[in-house]
Amino acid sequence: MKARRKFSRDFKLAAVKKIIEQGLAVTEVARDLGVAESLLHSWKRRFLEEGVVQPPPASSLEEEVKRLRAENRQLQLERDLLKKTTAFFASEKD
Q: What is the pLDDT of residues 19-65, one digit of tens each?
A: 888 888 899 999 999 999 999 999 999 998 998 888 777 677 778 88
Looking at residue 68, its pLDDT comes to 93
Instruction: Please tell me whether residues 41 and 65 are part of one structural domain.
Output: no
- pTM for the structure as a whole: 0.58
Taking the CA atoms of 79, 82, 88 and 93 in sequence, report the sign of the dihedral they define: negative
- Tally of structural domains, the chain: 2
Residue 2 maps to a domain: no
Q: Which positions ≥6 away from 13 have C-beta within 8 Å?
A: 47, 52, 53
Alpha helical stretches, state H, 1-59 = 9-20, 26-33, 37-50
Instruction: Please tell me whether residues 12 and 42 are part of one structural domain.
Output: yes
Percent residues over pLDDT 70 in the chain: 97
Q: Domain containing 85: what range?
A: 57-94
Following DSSP, what letter does each residue of 74-88 receive, concatenated? Answer: HHHHHHHHHHHHHHH
Looking at residue 94, its pLDDT comes to 63
Alpha-carbon separation of residue 90 from 76, 83, 94 (angstroms): 21, 10, 7
Instruction: Please tell me whether residues 64 and 52 are part of one structural domain.
Output: no
Interval 75-85 mean pLDDT: 96
